[in-house]
Structure 1
Amino acid sequence: MPKVSRIIPILENLLFFWLGLALVLSLAGDRLEIPALLQVLGRAHPLILHFPIVLLLMAVGLLWLSDLRLKNAGAQILLVGGNLTGITVVAGLILATEDYDGDALVWHQWLGLASLLLSVLIYFFREKSANFLRISTGTLALAIILTGHFGANLTHGEDFLLAPIQSKETEFVALEDAEVFEHLVQPILEAKCIACHKEGKVKGELRMDQLAGLQKGGKSGPFVVPGDMEKSLLIQRINLPKDEKEHMPPKNKTQLTDEEIEILEAWVAAGSSFDQKVSELKSEEPLFQLASNRFSNQKTYSFGPASDSDIKKLNNFFRKVNPVFPGSPALEVAYYGISTFDAASLQDLKKVNKQVVRLNLNRMPLATVDLSFLRNFPNLEELQLNFTGVKPEQLSNLEGLENLRNLALSGNEFGSSSVSELSKLKQVRKLFLWNSGLDETAKEELKKGLPQAQIDFGFDGKGIIYALNPPKIEFEKTLFQDSMELILSHPIRTAEIRYSLDGTEPDSIQSPIYSGPIWLKKTVQIRAKAFSRDWKGSVITSNLVFKEGIKPQSYQLAFEPNPRYKAKGATSLFDGIKGKTNHTSGDWLGFTDTPLEIEIFLEKNSAPKYLSLSFLLNEGAYIFPPESVEIWTGGQAGWQKITQTPTQVSSKLEEVRFGVLTYSLPEVSFDKLKVRLKPISKLPAWHPGAGAKGWVFVDEILLNL
């Protein structure tokens, strides 16, 4: 007891020391130079704060009891807890000098100081009166709870306490309304970055909860440099090895997914705009493709679907009616074949007038056609009337279409007198008027009449030879069963489309000329290019379509795919479901440390003649064609090896795309196959990750007769 009696006065005096030191740091901490040793104490604040909280709340509980011995015990616990509170408050005030500010910090700081002050007052005046003790201890308990709440907000983000019971509903955003930063980039930053770079906690002098902070950057450099990934702090830090101190997010935090890294890199590469809309991106840009994966199929409609029988009746060789995306009630309609066009067939669309949102009548002769039928299409959003011969007076039928946003009228001779009719289409947001006979005065007048619309008048090509736009390739689905129709089109009626079906580059002399729909009966790589007099040939547009193969009896993988990219195992290779261009979609089998090696057991008398491997190419994500492909056929004579190598090798970073390798199988009897794809062992010297292991991603193995 004598030893205890000597310690108590020391602890009582220390209470006033901690209180005084805390007041000095609170009022003048920003003007003091904190020694390194004390900074270590400050960073220990999160480690020690739990001890005084427990002791103070325990003391409050004991002081409320009537038993004298328990009250005395409560007083002693309060004395110890008060001193620990002093140490914790001082440590917290030291820590607050390092990249912390904002309202949450102010509340946390002063409530912590109030908790210390209340501890001191309660200890020395606990016997003054029962009312004082009840009010002061209750206030202390409340102060401790609020201090902890604001501390949690500083560490984990605002509303950390109530987040689990708050609504998890996310805002619906359609692709046409989505903004690159607000809807694609900012959600990633909010989920993975802002907790450490926001008001109250601005690590590295980088604040990410406001636009000005992002544009300003941090003490280590600019947050982003438009188009320059090497100088952008964001890209540098997320690509550092996870164990590096500067890697972001820190290794003890939730990491970015591969898709999120792709989005951030593509955003910087595309110019890191803070106000650009997704619809303003070019469709071939990686950022647009990544955004399409998130938004393209998300638009919902209030109307119900048309009947399958009506849609089936409307489809024929010269008219296609399809959902805008699988499962959507909205329909798109396109007409083909000028010579066979029957204006009366437009009346057939009354059966689906509520569901049609896109209507393509390009090149159809409409000069004498009554377009009043369009008034019965209340949900029409896009109307293509290029090179149709429509007259200005026919456009009055479009005035009541409140949802019409995109209108294409290129190649129709309107003249200056049409401005008044066009100016009435206030609902239109994008208007295309190439080669429409409008002089400069008429163009300026129309711009004033439709200030809300983006009007594309094309350009004056006199003396300049421009390149054509690439042709459009249309088909029903990427993976078909028996046969499928493929359609090529170009907005310029006189353009000649040349194509190839073997992956070779089409030319203007030897390649076949497209004259009508092509029926596909096997896996092909379609490539097409447009040519026209006084124009440069277009860039090549290409796509892959796959014929679904015969189903094997059974199959077995020798090595499991990487756990992050295992899809449904070997079943995914024969399920007839084509993967998306996003390698994290769950449709792909990914291999890097081991090869893809599979044994395939065939049904009796079903030996295929061709084997095709459908794979993904995304050099930026280290996904390459296989380094080698080996194929064995098996039968009574044992295994017979066919040595093969890929016909294509990546030589630069390109957009995400599909690839296919097709091999002829020997005309011998066999009842099983073995396929081995080896991932690229070292990325080439031109790649940013030169020397690292590559990946091979496969989604389908196709066996065709």
Structure 2
Amino acid sequence: MLKKSILQQILENTLFVWLGLTFILAIAGNSLVLPEWLQVIGRSHPLLLHFPIVLILMGIFFFWLPGIKSEVKEVGTFSLLIGSNFAGITVIAGLFLAKEGYEGSELSWHQWLGILVFVLSTLLYFFRNNSQSFIKPTSIALGALVIFTGHFGANLTHGNDFLLAPIQSKNPPQVQLAEAQVFRDMVQPIFKAKCQSCHKDGKMKGELRLDILEGIKKGGESGPFITAGDTENSLLFQRIHLPLEHEDHMPPENKEQLTEEEIEILSAWVKGGADFEQKVTQLPKEDNLFILASEKFSNQKNYDFDAADPDLVEELNNFYRKISPLYPDSPALEVSYFGIAAFSPSSLEDLKKISEQVVQINLNKMPLENVDFSFLAGFPNLEELQLNFGDLSDEQIESFPELPSLESLALSGNAITDKVIPRLQEFPNLKYLFVWQTNFSDQGREKLVENLKDVEIDFGFEDDGQIYKLNAPKLIFDNILFQDSMLLEIKHPINTVEIRYTLDGSTPDSVESTLYTNPVWIKNTSKIEARAFANGWLGSDTEKTLLFKSGIQPQNIQLLTQPSKSYRAQGNRTLNDKVKSVSNHTTGEWLGYQDNPLDFSFSFDENEHPSKIVFSLLYHEGAYIFPPSLVEIWVKEGNEWKQIIKENPEQSKDIKLARLEALGYDLPKGDFNEVRVRLSPLTRLPKWHPGAGEKGWVFIDELLLED
């Protein structure tokens, strides 16, 4: 008891030492110059802080135990005394550490709450024998302060969302390519994920702050963080290219490192001038940053309204009207009419049943002279309305209802005049207006251009000696992955053009390629390309898509080599889950191989014999994803494996946009029902590639067997 009493007296006296030092450092710390050995003590703050948390909370626990013996209560008392001393030491170490580039509101809250924890725990110790009306409320307040102090400390160390990150959504809001900004949507997320834990409000290592634009532009104590157009003289790139073990390497060795793609994005942004406002769509299409953005952001617009009843949509489809999703799984619908003889104006009233979901209506070449367009008044989301060659009058256009979402209006081939100009000016969101072969006067055209400055107006072909290019046609289909067959439609806003298409990936020409006249049934995996042609015009750009036939179901798929830990999707189930991924390798739906070949085997029902095997692959040279360098296929006849394919696929010759691709090979006729496949990635990227000499990747998401 004597030793304990002496120790207890020493610890009690020491508390006043820590209180005095805390007072001096908290009030006058900024005017003090600390020797290096005190900085070492300061950096022990994260190590020390766990002791007072446990000991103080244990001491509080003993205060709340009813009817405990004095000997047991002494354990809690001594725990609180030791915890208070460690709290004092921790506070002092923290005040030393705060001088190393920490500042801001997060630091202030953490610092003063920490001091309050120390002071309150000391008061609780010395007044522990007071009434319960003092002890219990004080102990509750002390426990809450410990929690909040730890919370702000975690924010300083790990970021503001550290505590709730596990229960927050892992799927960030999808950004549309048309709305994406280079800095906001591509660069800033990298800073937030990889840099801001050390360079933000409350923790500014090197006097550099990256959570606000002013901090990024200002730089830190070592100079400019970025130098527009010059990566060599930008501190950002000097630090990230230091050896990983170097103390100035960014991020530090114990933090998550930048990926190659992230470095590529930052480099392209700085080389392009480090613009903080530039939109992705303002970049040249061949720009490497645009290529990276095209796989990161969606071209498909998100809609927040509910989908229509599928049975109702099916009921509204008939032989003269087709209603289909704007793109797979979209709630937005497009409506197309065909067959002039079967058209009835009264049938337009049927569309009111799905008025909220309809975003596009195509009534080209329909007899519309008697149609009352007031029925459109209840279509709040209608964005595109095609009324080309519909015998419309000025009066019909003038009587159009309010269409708040209308962006594209096609009125070509109608005898409308300058009288409709005031009505056309009243569509608030109009972006495109097509008025070929109309009766607008020259003055009327000038007035349209002058009054609709934000609208792209197409007056059609004028023989001014220039040859213009047609717009590309539109490919319409239900799903990119189909079981047996699927109907493909090809449309163009100008019904008089000639559409040519191919199904083998070759570029269509105006003579030899198949002429499109009616919807086409696609019965195999096909690379579809289509172009529009017309006399006096340049042929359009090529519209492309790749449609996959799932066909026969593979069985017993076994991965003989394992994919990269970062790209393992659902393992062997990925290859036959009938889920077609988008052209983005980070979706978690792709198997990725780099250090070893993709090697797998599978079987199929002995009553089904596929004639062709197709691999659904992803190519994106900018992300090092190339065609396989070698494709090998074996079939098992009896107990023997027989190699039937050994081929080096044609390799990429430049960097292109991320895209889906398919490699297909014929299977022989014979008595086998087990197949083995090996797809080898490039061991060295070609000399023309920025990453020349590095390893390439192979990405696959589906194995398809055609009968």
TM norm. shorter chain > 0.5 = yes
Residue 311 of structure 1 corresponds to 314
Give the whole-Å Cα distance in 1 for the aligned partners of 2:76 and 2:703.
Answer: 74
Indicate how the Cα distance of structure 1 residues 456 and 77 shifts in structure 2: closer, same or farther if over 3 A, else same: same
Match of 2:96 in 1: 94
Match of 2:611 among 592, 609, 621: 609
Does structure 2 conserve the Cα–Cα contact (< 8 Å) formed by 1:467 and 1:536?
A: yes
Counterpart residue identity of residue 154, structure 1: L
Matches within 5 A, 1:105-120: 105-116=107-118
Superposed, 1:665-676 pairs within 5 Å as 665-667=667-669, 670-676=672-678
User: Which amino acid in 1 is paired with 2:694?
Assistant: A
Q: Secondary structure at the match of 1:549?
A: coil
Q: Which residue of structure 2 lines up, in the alignment, with residue 45 of structure 1?
A: 45
1:375 aligns with 2:376: yes
1 CA distance for matches of 2:225 and 2:346? 57
Specify the code of the residue in structure 2 equivalent to 1:323.
Answer: P
**Distance in structure 1 (CA, Å) of the matches to 2:63 and 2:189:** 48
Correspondence 1:287 to 2:293 = yes
Give the C-alpha shift of residue 626 in structure 1. 0.8
Q: Classify the secondary structure of the residue corresponding to 2:455.
A: strand
Structure-1 separation of matches of 2:36 and 2:334: 68
The answer on whether the counterparts of 1:399 and 1:424 sit within 8 Å (CA) in structure 2 is no
Contact 1:321 1:334 in 2 (8 A): yes
1:397-546 correspondence to structure 2 within 5 Å? 397-409=399-411, 414-426=416-428, 428-433=429-434, 437=440, 438-447=444-453, 454-458=454-458, 462=464, 464-493=466-495, 495-546=497-548
Q: Does 1:299 align with 2:298?
A: no
Question: Does the C-alpha gap of structure 1 residues 194 and 667 become closer, same or farther in structure 2, counting only changes over 3 Å?
Answer: same
SS in 2 for 1:398: coil
Alignment partner, residue 353 of structure 1: 352
Name the SS of the counterpart of 1:353 in structure 2.
helix
Aligned positions of 1:552-591 closer than 5 A: 552=554, 554-591=556-593
| Cα distance change on mapping 1:227 and 1:4 into 2, 3 Å | same
Alignment counterpart, residue 681 of structure 2, candidates 679, 682, 686? 679
RMSD across aligned C-alpha pairs, in angstroms? 4.9
Q: 1:495 to 1:242 in 2, by over 3 A?
A: farther
Distance 2:74 2:555 in 1: 81
Contact 1:175–1:299 (Cα < 8 Å) also in 2: no
Per-residue CA deviations over 1:611-659 (Å, capped at 9, x if unaligned) read 3222111223322111111223443594432343244312222211111
CA distance in 2, matches of 1:222, 1:263: 19
CA distance in 2, matches of 1:363, 1:109: 70
CA contact (8 A) 1:433 1:455 kept: no
C-alpha displacement of 1:506: 2.8
State the distance in 1 between where 2:571 and 2:128 align.
Answer: 73
**CA apart distance, 1:38:** 2.2
- Is contact 2:177-2:298 (8 Å) kept? no
Q: What is the CA distance between 1:100 and its match in structure 2?
A: 1.7
Aligned positions of 1:631-646 closer than 5 A: 631-636=633-638, 638-646=640-648
Structure 2: gaps (5+ residues): none
* Conservation of the 8 A alpha-carbon contact between 2:174 and 2:298: no
Aligned to 1:384: 385
Query: 1:618-633 residue pairs with structure 2 within 5 A?
Result: 618-633=620-635
Aligned-pair CA distance for 1:322: 0.8
AA matched with 1:347? S
Residue aligning to 1:692 = 694
Q: Secondary structure at the match of 2:39?
A: helix
Partner secondary structure for residue 311 of structure 1 = helix
Which secondary structure state, in structure 2, belongs to the residue aligned with residue 641 of structure 1? strand
Deviation at 1:188, TM superposition (A): 7.0
Contact 1:303 1:354 in 2 (8 A): no
| CA displacement, residues 387-413 of structure 1 (integer Å, 9 cap, x when unaligned) | 435444323443234554544446767
In structure 1, how many angstroms separate the alpha carbons of the residues matched to 2:117 and 2:7? 23
Tell me, what secondary structure is at the counterpart of 1:94? helix
Aligned equivalents of 1:220 and 1:387: distance in 2?
Answer: 63
Instruction: Give the match for residue 25 of structure 1.
Output: 25
CA shift for structure 1 position 382: 1.8
What's the TM-score, normalizing by structure 1? 0.79
CA-CA distance at 1:47 after TM superposition: 0.9
| Residues 657-684 of structure 1: per-residue CA shift (max 9 Å, x gap) | 1111222334555444332211222222
Shift of 1:557: 3.6
CA contact (8 A) 1:303 1:355 kept: no
The alpha-carbon deviation at position 255 of structure 1 amounts to 7.3
Report if aligned partners of 1:126, 1:132 keep a CA contact under 8 Å in 2.
Answer: no
How much has 1:97 moved relative to structure 2?
1.8
Secondary structure of residue in 2 paired with 1:105: helix
Quote the Cα distance in structure 2 between the aligned partners of 1:204 and 1:307: 63
- The aligned residue for residue 450 of structure 1 is none
- Tell me the SS of whatever aligns to 2:582: coil
- Equivalent residue for 1:653? 655
Other structure's SS at 1:101 match: coil
Aligned AA (1:291): F
Contact 1:607/1:669 (<8 A) preserved = no
Instruction: State the alpha-carbon separation in 1 of the partners of residues 204 and 137 from structure 2.
Output: 35
Structure-2 residue corresponding to 1:344? 343
Distance verdict in 2 for CA 1:375–1:221, change over 3 Å: farther
Contact 1:115 1:140 in 2 (8 A): yes
Q: Structure 1 unaligned runs (5+)?
A: 448-453
Moved more, 216-225 or 497-506: 216-225
Give the C-alpha shift of residue 445 in structure 1. Answer: 2.8
- C-alpha separation in 1, matches of 2:597 and 2:96: 54
Query: What one-letter code is carried by the residue in structure 2 that aligns with 1:89?
Result: V
What CA deviation, in whole Å up to 9, does each residue of 1:539-569 have, x standing for no partner? 3332212233333565444334344434444
- Matched residues in 2 for 1:568 and 1:171: separation? 21
Q: Distance in 2 between matches of 1:505 and 1:240?
A: 47
The 3-state SS of whatever aligns with 1:653 is coil
SS at match of 1:322: strand
**Cα distance in 1 between the residues matched to 2:404 and 2:493:** 26
Superposed CA deviations along residues 226-265 of structure 1, whole A, max 9, x for unmatched, are: 8998888779988999877667665655778999999989
Q: For residue 553 of structure 2, give the secondary structure of its aligned residue in structure 1.
A: coil
Does structure 2 retain, via aligned residues, the 8 Å contact 1:179–1:275? no
**Greater Cα shift, 647-656 or 399-408:** 399-408
More deviation in 474-483 or 666-675? 666-675
Q: Residue type of the partner of 2:700?
A: V
Q: Could you tell me how far 1:111 is from its partner in structure 2? A: 3.7
1:548 aligns with 550
Seq. identity, %: 43
Seen in structure 2, the aligned counterparts of structure 1 residues 440 and 44 have a Cα distance that, compared at 3 Å, is farther
TM-fit CA distance, 1:197: 3.6
Task: Tell me which amino acid in the other structure corresponds to 2:29.
Answer: G
Mean Cα displacement is larger for which, 554-563 or 645-654? 554-563
Q: How many Å apart are 1:456 and its aligned residue?
A: 1.4
Question: What secondary structure, in the 3-state scheme, does the structure 2 residue paired with 1:644 have?
Answer: strand
Between stretches 690-699 and 360-369, larger displacement belongs to: 360-369
1:87 maps to amino acid: I
Cα deviations across residues 527-548 of structure 1 (Å, max 9, x unaligned)?
Answer: 2334445544443332212233
Secondary structure at the residue paired with 1:38? helix
CA gap of 1:241–1:322, structure 2 versus 1, over 3 A, is farther
